[in-house]
Amino acid sequence: MVLARRASRLALLLLLLGILPAAPSSAGPRLTHEYDLKAAFLFHFAQFVQWPPEALPEKNTPLTIGILGEDPFGKSLDEIVANESVGGHKLLVRRFQRLNQADSCHILFISSSEKGRMDEVLSRVNRRSILTVGETKDFAQRSGIIGFVVAEKRLRLAVNLAAANVARLRISSKLLRQSEIVGPLRLQE
């Protein structure tokens, strides 16, 4: 009886020390919160997209990630971007309510709260070198550049290459390889 209790205590101790593998966490997939993951992707986009030189004229021009409309990220985007820079350009997060404030950013996340005027927003920014990112239905099909799509519990990217081309942005093949190409350059119809 005593022995059994000791054995179970030992097992508990080993478990706490991480020596004995805890079955559930090793069996299942790694989990994340949806908006933490989306924030991490916004950070990665800064690395995998090349802007034309005139969009980042000076070495000390910050690379700005803008959020238009309601911010779904909470603190996570600020946490991820804090003290980071890409190619010498410091990363900066800004939040906008009005569209004309957003003209100077490099990545623009257009919140679902702007759904009602998505076409208007996109037609205004789509000739600037702004990587538009959204999560509303058919965002990339409707000439946004990168759409977040949650399918099978995983985050997938829909990329409108034609829209990226108009914005003079080059998206790394490393990112494209894992994305679905949509819009007029969708590879099959």
Partner 1 sequence: MDLHRNTRSGSAPQGGPGPVRHGAPGLVLAFLLLAHVPASAQTEQAVEPAKALKQLSLEELFDLEVTSVSQKPEPVSKTAAAVHVVTSDDIRRTGALSIPEALRYVPGVEVARVDSRSYAITARGFNGTTANKLLVLIDGRSVYTPLYSGVFWDAQDAFMEDIEQIEVIRGPGATVWGANAVNGVINVISKSAANTQGFLVTGGAGNMERGFAGARYGGALGPRAFFRVYAKAFDRGPSKLPNGQDAGDASRMHQGGLRADWTPTTADGVTVQGDFYGSGIDRRSAGPTDISGGNGLARWTRAFSGHSSLQLQGYYDRTKREIPSTLNEALDTYDLTLNHHLAPAARHDVVWGLGFRLTDDDVRNSSALLAFLPPRLTQRLYTGFVQDEIALEADRLYLTMGSKVEHNSYTGFEYQPSLRLAWMPKPEQTLWAAASRAVRAPSRIDRDFFVPAQPPYFLVGDSTFQSEVLYAYELGYKSRPLTDLTASISTFYNVYDKLRSLEAGPPFFLANGLNGRTYGVEAEGIYQVSRMWRLSAGYTFLRLILDVEPPSTDVGGQSQEDDSPRHQAYGRSSLTLPHNLSLDAAVRYVGELPNQRVPSYAALDARVAWQPAKTGEIAVVGQGLLDSRHPEFGKPAARREVGRSIYGKATLWF
- Give the interface with partner 1 as residue ranges (CB under 8 A): 24-25, 27-34, 36-37, 39-41, 43-44, 48, 75-76, 79-80, 84, 112, 115-116, 119, 122, 126, 135, 137, 142-143, 150, 152-156, 160-166, 170, 173-178, 180-181, 183-189
Cβ 148 to partner 1 shortest distance, Å: 9
Q: How many angstroms separate the CA atoms of 176 and 75, rounded? A: 28
Ramachandran angles phi, psi of 82, nearest 5°: -50, 130
Which DSSP state fits 82? T
Q: C-beta of 1: minimal distance to partner 1 in Å?
A: 30
Of the chain, the end-to-end C-alpha distance in Å amounts to 70
Give the tokens for residue 42.
């916004």
**CB 156 → partner 1: shortest distance, Å?**
8
Comparing CB distances to partner 1, the nearer of 4 and 23 is: 23
Separation of alpha carbons 181 and 161, rounded Å: 7
